[in-house]
Amino acid sequence: MLGSLISGLVATYASGFSISVSIPQDVPAAILAIMAATIANESAQPASIETFATVVVVMAVSTFLTGTLLWLFGHYNLGRLVRFLPYPVVGGFMAGTGWLLITGGFGVVTEGAFSPALLLTESLLQWVPAILFAIVLLAATRRYSNPLLSPLIIVATLFLFYLTLALANGGMANGLEKALGSGWLLGPLPDAELWQPVTREALQNANWVQVFSSSGTMITIFVISVVSLMLNASGLEIVTNSDVDLNRELKCIGCANMASSVVGSSASFQMLSLSSLMHRLGSKTRLAGVTVAVIIAITLFLGADILSNFPKMIAAGFLIFMGLGFLFEWIYDGWFKLSRTDYLLVWLILGTIATQGILEGVIVGVLVAVVLFVIAYTRTNVVRKSFTRDNYQGYTLHPPRLEKYLQERGNGLYVLELQGFIFFGMAHQLLEQLKVRINDRSRYGICTILLDFHLVTGIDSSASYSFLRLYQITRQAGITVGFSNANQRVRGNLCRSLSDSNNDVLMFDDLDQAVTWFDNRAIEAIDVQQQNFTAIPLLSHFQTELSQSGTNEQISQRLQRFMKLEKYKSGAVLLQENDPVDYIYFIEPGQVIVQTVLADGIIKTLRVQGAGTVFGEIGIYNSATATATVVVSADAHLYSMSADSLRQMDAKDPELAVVVHRLIATTLGRKLTQANSARRD
């Protein structure tokens, strides 16, 4: 009980739950009891001081080890692991806790297990009042939310019990004596002090060989403690409708266990039933934990006889009340809140806990939840979206006629945007889906299949086999397969599974790079000059638009009044992201790359522009800073025009200004089309 006092005070002070009540738990204590019996059986003198000291040391070491590991779990932020527990598993655990509380309540008044003997008149008089008390308390607290209601019902019930006892037996003294004899009260309890500290001399006599041989059992206690603690904390979150820092709880309970280990206490952590009771009683402060600690201290130092006259029906009724509350919430309310699959899982966990135990119930619940998740996940289509090149424009702004040509032949590139974690079943579905297209390639006109992995978190080895089969099938059909946006782990798995192929695996950093590769292959197959797919030089564009306004030389002179022609080598930086924009640039021959730096330091290409296009116009129009960096990627001749020159052109040569604004608007429209394509849903 001294360990209960120490751990309770530490947890009350440090826990994130103000209503937290922490005491040594029954499951670790039961394991320690079995371990103590094993140590005694292995000892030549089971009743010797050495055996007693060994058992005490084992309890102290196991509790200290549990506390240390709990603190380390919290220190390294492992509390987040509980967030992966499915909601119905937590619900089943709480429903199972409710059942155990009910059976514990019956055990208080009947001192035995469920049996036909409970239907005898003597037994009925013991447990029926406890159930009636629990039902009244549950109905009242569910109907009304006044925090004073529960204490009033408890006080009123105590008053009626003692009043009836006194009136029926001619006085309180006779009534208490008769009630003790009839088993209506918790007593008689031991009258001696419950604090029996272990002496230093006794600890020196411990058999340390047996202590170290019990390390496996100590680890078992830790595993049970950490699972139970996390489940209890999650349950309290639901009960109190509040969030809690689970890492803080781990460190808090770790410290409490390390502190209580010095007195040989068993492992302790928050008790879901008592903490929930404090919440139901309307407690909002840490006074609840302090009150429990005070009661333990009084009992510890003054003896247990002060509790002997407390009615069993109220003590048992409390336990049954808490148990009914959990069962009502998850069995009755759960019918209306949970899906039928989740609801059945709650029942399965409840039944397992009732027949096998808490740990077994949680394990069964997690395993079934994992199986159900896998079944549900396989029903999710691994393909988020599919499209062809004619519905997607890469980051290269081709001349209009060339872009139209590429889009007309866009069915040749079939892109599948994949998602999620891909394992064998999902990869096989993808393979079957693609076989339909491959076998009917004359209808679809596919020559290249691109699988985009930017939403894929990972693949397993069995899925890699399906991708190998896809690679083999497409190679036989004369279709090229490429992969884009794969992270390092996925890329490694793909390369290893396809390492036996005769050709190099096509891996692209992003989808735009892959589309550019496809476009370049299509462009290499034609004579761009002969097809008249090249960009119209800027000067020729203005001469065509203004052919009725003068000779070519005159138009050139008009342009030079407002623009200046400059030559730039590859690698020159024209605009720096977030810097002021001073000029609009018109590309004559040459090429520039528009790029930005992502948060992780990676340089991402946003756009590639060639002859006949414009950049810097948004900064000039809106007086804004550059939204990206522009770098010359091929030697270029650029016409540049400042904002002042543009305004002068508007005023002095409006005819030329109209052509300039029209060219800018055309480029902006193409950029918008490209941006919308890149931001597909």
The span from the CA of 110 to the CA of 102, in Å, is 12
586-615: pLDDT as tens digits = 888 888 999 998 887 888 888 888 887 888
The predicted pLDDT at position 77 comes to 83
- pLDDT of 202 above 60: no
Which pLDDT band holds residue 681 (cuts at 50, 70, 90)? very low
Beta-carbon contacts of residue 175 (< 8 Å; ≥ 6 apart): 162, 165, 166, 168, 169
The span from the CA of 204 to the CA of 199, in Å, is 9
More confident position, 569 or 544: 569
- pLDDT of 326 above 50: yes
Beta-carbon contacts of residue 139 (< 8 Å; ≥ 6 apart): none
Phi, psi of 330, rounded to the nearest 5 degrees: -100, -20
CA nearest 57: which of 234, 205, 253, 156?
205
The span from the CA of 197 to the CA of 195, in Å, is 6
- pLDDT of 55 above 90: no
149-175: pLDDT as tens digits = 777 888 898 888 888 888 888 888 888
The answer to whether 341 and 188 have CB atoms below 8 angstroms apart is no
The predicted pLDDT at position 354 comes to 86
More confident position, 96 or 553: 96
The answer to whether 58 and 38 have CB atoms below 8 angstroms apart is no
Buried b (16+ CB within 10 A) or exposed e, 597-610: eeeeeeeebbbbbb
The predicted pLDDT at position 248 comes to 84
The predicted pLDDT at position 503 comes to 56
Least confident of 36-45, 267-276, 596-605: 36-45
The span from the CA of 615 to the CA of 431, in Å, is 43
With 0-12 CB in 10 A as exposed, 13-18 as middle and 19+ as buried, what is 532? exposed
Least confident of 42-51, 156-165, 488-497, 607-616: 42-51
- pLDDT of 676 above 80: no
Global pTM exceeds 0.85: no
Q: Mean pLDDT over residues 515-544, rounded? A: 73
Sequence ranges of the chain with CATH classification 3.30.750.24:
383-524
Q: Which amino acid is at 357?
A: G
Q: Mean pLDDT over residues 254-260, rounded? A: 84
The predicted pLDDT at position 602 comes to 81
- pLDDT of 535 above 70: no
For domain 383-524, give its CATH number from 1.20.1530.20, 3.40.50.720, 3.30.750.24, 3.40.710.10: 3.30.750.24
- pLDDT of 365 above 70: yes
With 0-12 CB in 10 A as exposed, 13-18 as middle and 19+ as buried, what is 166? middle
434-447: pLDDT as tens digits = 888 888 776 667 88
The predicted pLDDT at position 569 comes to 93
Sequence ranges of the chain with CATH classification 2.60.120.10:
538-678
More confident position, 49 or 645: 645
Q: Mean pLDDT over residues 404-422, rounded? A: 85
Strand order in the sheet with 614-615: 564-568, 636-642, 583-587, 614-615
Share of the chain above pLDDT 70, in %: 80
More confident position, 236 or 325: 325
Please tell me the CATH code under which domain 538-678 is placed.
2.60.120.10
- pLDDT of 548 above 50: yes
Which of 322-326, 645-649, 666-670 has maximum average pLDDT? Answer: 645-649
- pLDDT of 178 above 90: no
The span from the CA of 38 to the CA of 66, in Å, is 21
CA nearest 561: which of 641, 465, 485, 476?
641
Q: Mean pLDDT over residues 410-416, rounded? A: 87
- pLDDT of 261 above 90: no
More confident position, 215 or 561: 561
Q: Which amino acid is at 595?
A: Q
The predicted pLDDT at position 631 comes to 94
The predicted pLDDT at position 662 comes to 86
The predicted pLDDT at position 450 comes to 92
Which of 106-110, 354-358, 477-481 has maximum average pLDDT? Answer: 477-481
> What's the mean pLDDT when you consider all of the chain?
79
- Three-state DSSP class for 244? coil
93-147: pLDDT as tens digits = 778 878 877 887 887 777 655 566 566 666 677 778 888 988 998 888 888 877 6
Which pLDDT band holds residue 417 (cuts at 50, 70, 90)? very high
The predicted pLDDT at position 567 comes to 92
- pLDDT of 419 above 70: yes
